Structure 1
Amino acid sequence: MNIFLPIMALSAAMAQTPDGDYVNVCDSAPYTDFDFWVGDWVAIDYDSGVVQGVDRVEKIADGCAIHQDWTQLTDRYRTPGAPVRYFGESITAPINPPDGGWQQVWVNQGGGGAITLRGGLDADGTMVIATDEREASDGRFFRQVWYWDPLEEGRIHSWGEIQIRQADENGYSLTQVPWNLMYVPRADAPNLVTATENTE
């Protein structure tokens, strides 16, 4: 028996109005909560103004998920000897909507396995997702937290934190910020990106 057929039938039934017209549930919240990230972006270091990469973000699966395609334009994070610069992709989607929050799975070409983060919009409309806590080799505990804060001018402030605590601490006493970016629509910054994307 194909167990997917009943699931597909149930999903189709849930997406119909009483008169039989199809309604795409992914055209409304919570599936649209992260639509502000969708676009073709140039990512600039928030402090120095130096271009770091380009990020192409689009809706997939009939609007039910988000696909990210990141290309680093500097040698930061580049694996020694690698023929190309750092790049990676992610899939982000709601979990058990409407109240299950969001999940992202990120994978990059440098190995190390997938990174899974979960979270959702905070009270200010910022998307905040975090990994589960892990124990480091030195006995401390840490987690990664990633943020996307939409700004009024159509840009996004996005940054990541590594939050660290000692084994005997209840809260995180140390925070590192490995990346801090301003997302600018690529159409607004065409001269910021060179033609050497991921080739040097």
Structure 2
Amino acid sequence: MKWFLVVLSCLCACGVSAKCDDKAYREFDFWLGDWQVYTPDGKLAGRNIITVDYNHCVIKERYTSVSGYQGESLGIYDITRKLWHQTWVDNTGLLLQLEGNLQGNVMVLTGSDFDKAGNYLEERITWTPNADGTVRQVWKTKALDQKWQVIFDGLYVKKAEK
């Protein structure tokens, strides 16, 4: 840990900043924006604001549903492991860590966690950019020896600019 702090101090003192120039850092840019999120039946589910920060290295998400559910995530492309990492937290106490990559034009991140009863769960979230500029996000979960269940299916539509 001391080594990390020494290197970090040197980088900051010398004015060196990280550069996220690799094209892989742009793979998730299709998700950036101020979005209205709709359920498959066309009802408004909530609003999600996706931005970039820290020299375009970090993607920040802030979601609020119409029912009061709230959460946020930080995502980054890990250049050393050649994969995306996302950490999600919300107002129910959920901590979800996902990793994965762009597969074709679909971002696929997977992870695991436990439900409130302590049962192991697998998680998979996909983001698919559509030709009309919308994005579809589908979150699936499954317990051991079970079938995948969709727990969220949202269509992201950019908010109209005023």
Q: TM-score, normalised by structure 1?
A: 0.69
- State the one-letter code of the partner of 2:143: I
Runs of 4+ displaced beyond 4 Å: 7-13, 133-139
Query: Structure 1 counterpart of 2:75, which letter?
Result: T
Matches of 2:70 and 2:118, distance apart in 1? 29
Check 1:53–1:142 CA distance in 2 against 1; reply closer, same or farther (3 A cut): same
Indicate conservation of the 8 Å contact 1:30/1:98, yes or no. Answer: no
- Alignment correspondent of 1:130: 110
1:7-156 to 2 correspondence within 5 Å? 7=8, 9=10, 25-46=19-40, 48-73=41-66, 75=67, 85-95=68-78, 97=79, 99-112=81-94, 114-122=95-103, 124-132=104-112, 141-156=120-135
Identity of aligned residues (%): 24
Two-structure CA RMSD over aligned residues (Å)? 2.9
The Cα shift of 1:178 comes to: 0.8
Shift of 1:94: 1.1
Unaligned runs of 5+ in 2: none
Q: Secondary structure, in 3 states, of the residue corresponding to 2:20?
A: helix
Q: State the one-letter code of the partner of 2:54.
A: A
Amino acid aligned to 2:39: D
| Alignment of structure 1 residues 170-189 onto 2, 5 Å | 173-187=146-160
Distance 1:26 1:143 in 2: 30
Count of aligned positions = 160
CA distance in 1, matches of 2:13, 2:28: 24
Amino acid in structure 2 at the alignment position of 1:28: D
Write 1 or 2 for the structure with the bigger share of strand: 2
Q: Measure the CA separation in 2 of the matches of 1:71 and 1:117.
A: 20
Structure 1 segments unaligned to the other structure (5+ residues): 16-21, 76-84, 167-172, 191-200
TM-score, normalising length: structure 2: 0.84
1:66–1:93 Cα contact (<8 Å) kept: yes
For 1:194, the equivalent position in structure 2 comes to: none
Contact 2:126 2:138 in 1 (8 A): yes
Q: What letter corresponds to residue 25 of structure 2 in structure 1? A: Y
Is the alpha carbon distance of 1:3 and 1:129 closer, same or farther for their aligned partners in structure 2, counting shifts above 3 Å?
closer
Q: What is the distance in 1 between the residues matched to 2:122 and 2:107?
A: 17
Provide, for residues 153-191 of structure 1, a one-character-per-residue CA deviation record: whole Å limited to 9, x for no partner: 11101111113332xxxxxx5111011111000117x8x
Structure of greater Rg: 1
> Could you tell me how far apart the structure 1 residues matched to 2:60 and 2:118 are?
35
